[in-house]
Structure 1
Amino acid sequence: MAPDAVPRLRRLLWLSCFLPLASDPVAAGLYELRLTTDGPATTGAEVTISASFVARDNGSLALPADAHLYRFHWIHAPLVLTGKTEKALSSTIRVVGNMPGDLPVSVWVTSANCWMCHPVARGFTVLPITEFLVGDLIITQNSSLPWPSSYLTKMSLKVAFLLHDPSDFFKSASFLYSWDFGDGTQMVTEDPEVYYNYSIIGTCTVKLKVVAEWEQMKPGAGKGVMQKTGDFSTLLKLQETLQGIQVLGPTLIQTFQKMTITLNFLGSPPLTVCWRLKPECLPLEEGECHPVSVASTTHNLTHTFKNPGDYCFSIRAENVISKTHQYHRVQVWPSSIQPSVFAFPCATLITVTLAFIMYVTLRNATQHKDMVENPEPPSGTRCCCQVCCGPFLLETPAEYLEIVRENHGLLPPLYKSVKTYTV
């Protein structure tokens, strides 16, 4: 064999590795790997990670017919591999994490007989490993609400701890649960489920501390007691349904008089309140009035009626749980006091009347003084003032008669005497 034939033969053998994957440049980029895991997990517990072939165009592209043409390559360090399973176009590994942290795991797929060839698909994920217990607090209630973390007060709540242990790592462990319901109540149980009835309205935080203990063989030391703990919490929004609306206010009022009514809501805020005056007590339709936000359980409404008649306050209130209606009838009578537009003429009339009374009083006082100081006034003056004006100026009729007798003497008799002659 010629000396230059040996390098040429080596080059042909190296290129032969790529011959079975002549179609890979076409397949590359058409598929991807979907990775799933049952993590997070606690240290020492086994975790399962799976990788499966999927088409990039959501399934319209057919997957490779022969699964044996491809091989899955995993990089999982520092996780310890405990098992591996290969299926059609998928691969599953089981690993254990002995240190806490977010540990990366990657996988790629190549031709089955050429692992150095260009990958057909790649996948990557991060596995959270913690030294504490892994689980969730689950809260349920018979009256489910459409709002997250919202529950009814004065109704029984079921609070349960769900341990995340897909590998049964804690199958021989015993648990102790310490509950804090956020309203001053605490308890310790061996059961992961408790029932509790809140009597308050507002926001509470449920806290739970879980302790797990079990026996485990230790190298060279026999059996030892192992322990793991976990702290969990969840937020509760406790609401109360609207039982009704208490309306405090007058039922009879006059026009042009300001009216104030107080609304007491038998339920938990925040509320949305809407009201409107109607001739009859009928429920409000959607969009019939402008809603107002109320942050307390009390709200005041003010209104001034301009026209008499029978009216009805139609009131609607709702919170995040329920809604309710209430009505308040009012009878409006015409006002006995005129409106402000008539105030000026009334005031003018009253002022003129008072001025006239003062004038007459002062004039009477002056006339009485002149009569005392001058008992014998001239006849002309006496006639003019006392005779003509006497009835208007003197205080009593007796004084008027006395003055008339002084001026005219005695009145003539109503009959004359008749003389009688005898013949």
Structure 2
Amino acid sequence: MARAVWSRLGRILWLSCLLPWAPAGVAAGLYELNLTTDSPATTGAEVTISASLVAKDNSSLALPADTHLYRFHWIHTPLVLTGKTEKGLSSTIHVVGHVPGDFPVSVWVTAADCWMCQPVARGFVVLPITEFLVGDLVVTQNTSLPWPSSYLTKTVLKVSFLLHDPSNFLKTAVFLYSWDFGDGTQMVTEDSVVYYNYSIIGTFTVKLKVVAEWEEVKPDATKGVMQKTGDFSASLKLQDTLRGIQVLGPTLIQTFQKMTVTLNFLGSPPLTVCWRLKPECLPLEEGECHPVSVASTAYNLTHTFRDPGDYCFSIRAENVISKTHQYHRIQESSRLSLLSHCATLITVMLAFIMYMTLRNATQQKDMVEVADFDFSPMSDKNPEPPSGVRCCCQMCCGPFLLETPSEYLEIVRENHGLLPPLYKSVKTYTV
């Protein structure tokens, strides 16, 4: 009997303890924590972490009007807590890390008078702490390109180093900047901003080494010089407008011969190259040829000619900056060979005609010279011509130039006296 009474009393007491915390239990799962931090940070610098209680999934659930109903609980070890503030349904802490590493920080919210009750919301964040300087290298240019980390050559670049020090830990430090632009140019400045102009295209890496020095009071009241360094880099892709296309290839080709033409792009590699053979050198219209993607400054195109004639390679190249056109004439050599053969034949015919003309003119001249001599029977009035001329004319030209057979026979007698006469004398008788 007594045991039953005590059992009932125990249950009543248990329920009485749970009743004050019923609203917190009902709120569990309806809220969440938004965490923000200004990390990363260098060792010795202060890091700020804030947590805010909000309705879960941006629902229309109203937040409690009495902000004193809830309490924030933090776990940040081994980071050293330097400050904590709470305002409304948010809480902020400030911690310092003296060794590098990644440190987890957790927070949860419970009812104000029951820290052992079920949490209304939980949050978790990792703080990266480094022994080096923290910052970013930012590159800007007046002309922006749609490609990531892409910039124009021959246009001034602004390169800036932005130190990340939200707690002003390095406010008394003196900085020195050592720049390397990746093209052989180096410089040292005391300013965190420099201006530079790349004259050639390509991919370059800007490297920066930052040194910070400041005085710090040690625990023994003496002053010492502290130093921190940091290495930063940024990759840049320098682009240029297409100033033209250099075409290297033959201008004469034979039928059914494969021809290769090399295109050298004067400027940044284009995104697309388009070409087509035309009877005349005219610009390509949109959709007139199929574009080809090109990722270098040179491209080879090949084609086999199957029909004789004159052709023109019409080429268009473009990138996101500009576009350009170029032309290259090609002549199929079978047509040239036919023309060459015709020209050779005409030359031979002209030479033959000239030869025959000169030969006839020479023969006529010889005939005229021979006709100037008198080949009639020799007499005192017609002295005999020189023997050499006479012989030549009689032996070579005589048969063609003498007009009567008697003259020819006379010449034969004189030159062939030992031969019998060509006719017998006729005897006459008197009856």
Q: How does the TM-score come out when normalised to structure 2?
A: 0.69
CA drift at 1:283: 3.0
Distance apart, 1:175 and its partner CA: 0.3
In the alignment, does 2:165 pair up with 1:165?
Answer: yes
CA contact (8 A) 2:258 2:302 kept: no
Secondary structure, counterpart of 2:314 in structure 1: strand
1:287 and 1:26 map into 2 onto residues whose CA distance is 70
Q: Supply the AA of the counterpart residue of 1:134.
A: V
Counterpart in 2 of 1:112?
A: 112
Question: Residue 317 of structure 1 corresponds to which residue in structure 2?
Answer: 317
TM, length-normalised to structure 1: 0.70
* Structure 1 partner of 2:241: 241
Q: How does 1:336-355 map to 2 (within 5 A)?
A: 337=337
Residue 331 of structure 1, CA deviation: 7.0
Q: Which moved more, 1:254-263 or 1:220-229?
A: 254-263
Query: Counterpart of 2:57 in 1: which secondary structure?
Result: coil
Inter-CA distance 181–12: structure 2 relative to 1 (3 Å threshold): farther
Q: Quote how far apart the aligned CAs of 1:97 are.
A: 1.3
CA distance in structure 2 between the aligned counterparts of 1:15 and 1:287, rounded to whole angstroms:
85
Q: Distance in 2 between matches of 1:89 and 1:292?
A: 57
Deviations 1:210-255 (A, max 9, x none): 1111112212232221111111112222222211223456778787
Is the Cα–Cα contact under 8 Å of residues 283 and 325 in structure 2 kept in the other structure? no
Task: Indicate the residue corresponding to 1:54 in structure 2.
Answer: 54
Question: 1:133 maps to which residue?
Answer: 133
Deviation of the 1:272 alpha carbon:
3.1
* CA–CA separation in structure 2 for the residues paired with 1:178 and 1:7: 79
- Relative distance call for 1:95 and 1:258 in structure 2 (3 A) is closer
Identity across the alignment (%): 74
Question: In 2 relative to 1, CA 288–298 (structure 1 residues): closer, same or farther, beyond 3 Å?
Answer: closer
Residue matched to 1:64: 64
Q: 1:131 to 1:287 in 2, by over 3 A?
A: farther
Q: Is the 8 A contact 2:260 2:300 kept in 1?
A: no
2:289 is matched with 288
The answer to whether the Cα contact below 8 Å between 2:79 and 2:96 also exists between their aligned partners in 1 is yes
Distance change in 2, residues 1:183/1:86 (3 Å): same
- Range with bigger deviation, 181-190 or 122-131: 181-190
Q: Contact 1:258/1:305 (CA < 8 Å) preserved in 2? A: no
Note the alpha carbon deviations across 1:31-78, whole angstroms, 9 max, x for none. 211111000011111111011123332344433343222111111111
Does structure 2 conserve the Cα–Cα contact (< 8 Å) formed by 1:137 and 1:233?
A: yes
Q: 1:15 to 1:83 in 2, by over 3 A?
A: farther
Q: Is the 8 A contact 1:274 1:292 kept in 2?
A: no
Q: Which runs of 5+ in 1 are unaligned?
A: 339-397, 402-409, 411-423
Deviation at 1:14, TM superposition (A): 6.3
Q: CA distance change for structure 1 residues 329 and 162 in 2, over 3 Å: closer, same or farther?
A: same
Q: Structure 2 CA distance, aligned partners of 1:121 and 1:290? A: 57
**SS in structure 1 at match of 2:335:** coil
Does 2:189 match 1:189? yes
Q: Give a deviation string over 1:114-159, Cα, whole Å, max 9, x none.
A: 1111001000000011111100111111221111122222322211
Q: Which residue in the other structure is 1:73 paired with?
A: 73
Residues 69-99 of structure 1, C-alpha deviation per residue, up to 9 Å, x if partnerless? 2111111111111222212221111111122
Which ranges of structure 2 fall in alignment gaps of 5 or more residues?
339-396, 401-408, 410-431
Change (3 A) 1:208 1:12: farther
| Structure with larger Rg | 2
- C-alpha deviations, 1:325-345, integer Å up to 9, x for none? 33445677982657xxxxxxx
**Distance verdict in 2 for CA 1:307–1:190, change over 3 Å:** same
For residues 294 and 101 of structure 1, what CA distance do their matches in structure 2 show?
42
Equivalent AA in structure 1 for residue 298 of structure 2? T
* Residue of structure 1 equivalent to 2:365: none
Which residue of 2 is the match for residue 150 of structure 1?
150
Could you tell me which residue of structure 1 aligns to residue 422 of structure 2?
none
